[in-house]
Amino acid sequence: MLKTGVSKVLITGASAGIGEAAAYAFSDLKCPLFLVARRQERLTRIAESCRQKGAPQVICQAHDLSVPGKGATIVQECLETLGGLDVLICNAGYGIYGPVAKIPPDQMARLWQVNYQSGYESIHAALPHFLERKEGHIVLVSSVIGKKAIPFSATYCATKFAQAGLGDAMWGELREHGVGVSVICPGATATEFQRAAQKTECQQNTSWGVAQSPEVVAQAIVRAVQHKKREIRLTAGGKLLCFLERLSPSLTSHALAWIFSRRQKNSQAENT
């Protein structure tokens, strides 16, 4: 349903990485844009580049999506300032690495609010508008580790599984009402994600295989909207992980437990 030069696109987490690349990809299609993240100066600079690439209207608003209710606020602001919304891309997010025992509930609650709940709030606010028009598309940027969890990323995996589950179920609820839903599952992607991630004392990163560029993910998002794809998984490492999980969930879990506990011990040894 993506209409070049017409479809209005809201992107969260548009100040860097996948969200920034998605803003440029939709600018190439001359879509009006509503961009959200916390860093206003970066959004302003990216908005200018989007205009130069052909986006006819770009509005950027700094919001902290860890604040409950902001997910609905941004949809309201988009409807008022852009005069509509056609594609909602729930992309903002960050990671926490470390064992559950070291991650207190308040850190989990904040992660949940940014990675999952703010997206739910946005979707809930956008749905009446989409359902009334029998048109619209929701994109959830989950992860391949929202399909198969890995040790020492439990809190992050929980948010990504929730996004994937929400998207999968909504796809079935909404397809007869003209509203598309896509779950994008990137593997390792070269963005600020690793640097921005919160780490406990073990300081390991959980990257899986060779990192792809954020532009690859942005093109997958465009493809998903254009062709109403239910789910897209990306990177060879990510696809391999999902394949092994299908082949033998138990063996895959044992192998991951072994690999990640070794990595954990190595990084603990390096830090002492």
Q: Does 17 bind ligand NAP (CB under 6 A)?
A: yes
* Sole window of 7-15, 50-58, 125-133, 173-181 interacting with ligand NAP (rule: CB under 6 A): 7-15
User: C-beta of 132: minimal distance to ligand NAP in Å?
Assistant: 28
Q: Does 13 bind ligand NAP (CB under 6 A)?
A: yes
- Catalytic-residue membership of 156: yes
Q: Does 193 bind ligand NAP (CB under 6 A)?
A: yes
- Could you give the string, one character per residue 83-102, with x where binding to ligand NAP holds by CB under 6 A and - elsewhere? --------xxxx--------
Q: Does 199 bind ligand NAP (CB under 6 A)?
A: no
Q: Does 239 bind ligand NAP (CB under 6 A)?
A: no
User: C-beta of 115: minimal distance to ligand NAP in Å?
Assistant: 6
Whichever of 2 and 92 has its CB closer to ligand NAP, that residue is: 92
Q: Does 188 bind ligand NAP (CB under 6 A)?
A: yes
Q: Give the residue carrying structure tokens 């100066």.
A: 41
- Could you give the string, one character per residue 242-271, with x where binding to ligand NAP holds by CB under 6 A and - elsewhere? ------------------------------
Whichever of 32 and 119 has its CB closer to ligand NAP, that residue is: 119
Q: Does 164 bind ligand NAP (CB under 6 A)?
A: no
Identify the residue among 58, 65, 82, 127 touching ligand NAP (CB under 6 A): 65
Q: Does 119 bind ligand NAP (CB under 6 A)?
A: no
Q: Does 39 bind ligand NAP (CB under 6 A)?
A: yes
Nearest to 97 by CA among 188, 257, 195, 206: 206
Measured in whole angstroms, how far is the alpha carbon of residue 38 from the centre of its chain?
A: 16
3-state SS track over the chain: CCCCCCCCEEEECCCCHHHHHHHHHHHHCCCCEEEEECCHHHHHHHHHHHHHHCCCCEEEEECCCCCCCHHHHHHHHHHHHCCCCCEEEECCCCCEECCHHHCCHHHHHHHHHHHHHHHHHHHHHHHHHHHHHCCEEEEEECCHHHCCCCCCCHHHHHHHHHHHHHHHHHHHHHHHHCEEEEEEECCCECCCHHHHCEECCCCCCCCCCCCECHHHHHHHHHHHHHCCCCEEECCHHHHHHHHHHHHCHHHHHHHHHHHHHHHHHHHHHHHC
Interface residues with ligand NAP (CB under 6 A)?
13-19, 37-39, 64-66, 91-94, 114, 141, 143, 186, 188-189, 191-193, 196, 214
User: Which residues belong to the active site?
Assistant: 156
